[in-house]
């Protein structure tokens, strides 16, 4: 995979941007997770990347490492993903289940790697949003 410092972008992306919710009495699956940021590659290729409970991933649980993940809705067809497509006749408007992380990383590398500027900006924005939310929550709790 070249000289990149990050060798497993799929799991790095998931660990960085995954939001996790707690178990509730209405759900018996141990909680939920979602990733609202799309992976964006250097050449402009983009897709959704998900893993966790009720996702087409392994494990289907909240975890720090996944062997396979769910991709969705790439902005252009990608031949390396076609065999995993839920709808092989509509490759830009479908979900791709249980895609091995090694294949995801191969696709990312093929498209020039993760757009690191976008990655850093998204991470900084998330961190800033979390601090802002915490600040407002602290103000409410302190009666300001």
Helix (H) or strand (E) holding 122: helix 116-141
* CA dist., res. 87 & res. 26, Å (int): 31
Answer whether residue 124 is part of any domain: no
* Domain residue limits at 35: 9-115
Q: Flag whether 91 is in a domain.
A: yes
Structure tokens at 40: 């964006």
pLDDT digits (tens, 9 = 90+) for 12-66: 999 888 888 765 555 555 567 777 789 999 999 999 999 988 899 999 988 999 9
Task: Give the separation between CA 85 and CA 13, rounded to whole angstroms.
Answer: 21
Number of domains in the chain: 1
- Pairing state between β 68-72 and 95-100: antiparallel
Q: Would you say residue 19 lies in a domain?
A: yes
| Rounded Cα distance, 125 and 118, in Å | 10
């Amino acid at each position: 995979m070249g000289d990149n410092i990050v060798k497993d972008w799929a799991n790095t992306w998931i660990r960085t941007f995954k939001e996790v919710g707690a178990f509730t009495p209405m759900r018996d699956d141990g909680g939920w997770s979602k990733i609202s940021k799309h992976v964006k590659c250097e050449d402009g290729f983009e897709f959704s990347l998900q893993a966790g409970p009720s996702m087409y991933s392994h494990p289907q649980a909240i975890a720090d490492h996944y062997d396979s993940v769910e991709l969705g809705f790439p902005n252009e067809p990608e031949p390396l993903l076609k065999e995993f497509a839920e709808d092989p006749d509509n490759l830009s408007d479908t979900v791709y289940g249980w895609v091995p992380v090694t294949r995801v990383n191969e696709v990312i590398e093929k498209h020039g790697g993760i757009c690191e500027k976008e990655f850093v900006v998204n991470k900084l924005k998330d961190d800033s949003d979390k601090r802002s939310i915490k600040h407002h929550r602290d103000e409410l709790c302190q009666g300001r």
